[in-house]
Structures are given as C-alpha cells and as structure tokens.
Amino acid sequence: MIYLAYDGSINGDWVAWYALNLARHDPDRRLCVIYVDLAEFDAATIAQKINALTLDCERADVVLHSMTVPSAGRSVEGVFRALRDSVPAGVGSLLVCGARLRAVSGGYLAGTVSERLLSDQAFPVMAVHVVQPGLLGAPQRFLMPVAGDRDGFLAGAHILKRFGPGVARVHLLRVMQLKRSLFRHLQKDRAESLRYKGWLALQGLDEELSALVGIAADMIDIHVTVSDDWAQDVIIAAGRHKSHLILMEAARHDLGAGYLYGSAIEVVLRNAPCDVAIYRGV
C-alpha cells in the first residue's frame, strides 16, 4: 500500500501526484495520506486540499484514506515518530515523502524528516525532489544509477513497476569511479578494462528488470562510464537522455555518515535537470 507524508505545502501537493500515480498501479489501489498537524495551516485549508486529492483519486480509481496525527513537538524527531507509528512496518508499505524544495542548512535532505525516514529501514521510503511540477508525478523516462547493490536495485525496480504502462524508457547507468589522482593519469587500456568490468556487473540486469517491471527489453539501455565524479556523471546522463526522473538508491554507507552538502546525493539533488527520487528498501 502507498502512504503519503503530507505537509500541506505546495511542494507537498506536487509530491502527492507521485503518490497518487504509484497507487494507481499498486495492487491495493489505495492511498493513505498522513498529515502531521504542526499548526502551520488551518484545518479548513487542509480539508480543502485533501478533498481535492480525493476527487483526483476517484478519477484514477484509487481509494483514499486520510488521517491527521499529532506530533510530539515540532522537532524532526517528533514528526518522524508520528509518521513512523502511523505506517505498518514491512515491505508491503511504501511511504512517499518530499525533499526540501530549496537547499537550506547545507542540503535538501540533511537534517530533514525524510532523511530520518530513509535511514530507519522500517518500511520502504521514497523521497521526491520535484523540479518539473508539470509532469504531475507521471514521468516516462527514467535514469537509474546502479551502484552494485542487488537488493537495493530490486527495491528500485519494484518502485519503477508501480509507475505502470507510462514507463517509456529506462537508462541504467554504472559509473566506475576512481580517485581524482588516479583518473588524471588513466590510460586507455585501463579505462577499457574498467568499462568491461562494469558491463559484466550489469550483464543480464536489463532482462531481469524487463521481466520484473513488465516492459520490453528494448526499452532499457545500459551505459557504463569511468569517472572521478559520480554525481556529475549522473547529472550529465540525465540531461543527455532527457530523463524525467532520476530514481536512485540511498546507499547504506551514505546514510550511516549522514547527508552532507558535498555528498553525491546532495550534488545530484542540487544540480539535476529533472525530478529526483531517493529510495531505500528494507
């Protein structure tokens, strides 16, 4: 089932479109909207917005259930606990939440409720940074960076499946990253060897993704690059392929260290030409 952490903001409205479109192709066809009441909006405004989303869900044949829950304070930990206690644990729940609309205090995710949810691992989470609200949460061209974690990639594949028949093209990208000092002196034969190693790591992944998501294999492309800047290669690839959404995993070591302004995830969020969804499974 799809859950939406809703805050009543315009950014929250844009993120809600993603939750609705995922729910349209989820087996349950249900969307649960969780509004944590921090007294930032009056009750009438929230009710009006929830009613509008309910009508959109009815048109999409999705059943909407909404709940307003109190928070144990306005702190990140208080809001996190309110959401954490409202969503059933396990792989059957997917919570959609938003990243900051603008970077403050060092980043788009650093110090946010979304970061806390991604690091918790109680249930799958997808945090969305919306750059193109006109897509209405229905991207068709996807870029999926592959970092080598099979379980993480499969969690992303299950999210991709929920975007349904609208998926038109998927680009899988493996960046073979080197330290800058080594990259500067990289010889052609060594570069080709690294690319080949990357290709071997991705071998068969397109067929597996095709079978899992239910799209034709020729709609999936595989690209391998050698670089000293993983984030920059992801950004360049998104522009080259005219991607609508970068769907990327929040790696476990990244979450353990916390999101820093200069981290790869924050660089992608800050500079990507399209929407970005950071996900993590359980």
Report pLDDT for 251: 67
Average pLDDT for 160-179: 91
Q: Which residue in the block uniquely carries the two structure tokens 């989303």?
A: 53
Average pLDDT for 55-74: 91
Residue 30: which region, alpha, beta or left (left: phi > 0; alpha: psi -120 to 50)? beta
C-alpha dihedral sign at 68, 74, 76, 82: negative
Q: Which residue in the block uniquely carries the two structure tokens 């909404």?
A: 66
Average pLDDT for 129-148: 93
- Tokens linked to 248: 């990327």
212-265 per-position pLDDT tens digit? 999 998 999 999 999 888 999 999 999 999 999 999 998 644 444 444 345 889
Distance between the two ends of the chain, CA-based, in angstroms? 15
81-134 per-position pLDDT tens digit? 999 999 999 999 999 999 988 777 668 988 899 999 999 989 999 999 999 999
Write the DSSP assignment of 126-176 as a string of letters: EEEE-S-GGGTT---EEEEE--S-HHHHHHHHHHHHTTGGG--EEEEEEEE
Average pLDDT for 151-174: 91
Give burial (CB, 10 Å; 0-12/13-18/19+) of 47: middle
170-202 per-position pLDDT tens digit? 999 999 888 877 777 778 888 888 888 888 888
Write the DSSP assignment of 5-57 as a string of letters: EE-SSHHHHHHHHHHHHHHHTSTT-EEEEEEEE-SSS-HHHHHHHHHHHHHHH
Q: CA 137, 138, 141 angle in degrees (round to 5)?
A: 120
2-34 per-position pLDDT tens digit? 999 999 999 999 999 999 999 999 999 999 999
Report pLDDT for 148: 65
Smallest CA-to-CA distance from 246 within 280, 223, 203, 279 is with 279
- Tokens linked to 208: 């597996």
Report pLDDT for 168: 94
Residue type, 152: G
> 54 Cβ partners below 8 Å, 6+ apart?
64, 66
Report pLDDT for 25: 94
> 256 Cβ partners below 8 Å, 6+ apart?
119
The domains found in the chain, sorted by start residue, are 2-280 (3.40.50.12370)
Put the strands of the sheet holding 245-249 in their side by side order.
63-70, 30-37, 2-6, 94-98, 125-129, 275-280, 245-249, 141-145, 169-177, 220-227
Q: Which residues pair with 170 in a beta bridge?
A: 142, 220
- pTM here is 0.91
> How far apart are alpha carbons 122 and 118 in whole angstroms?
9
- Tokens linked to 225: 């690059």
- pLDDT > 70: percent of the chain: 95
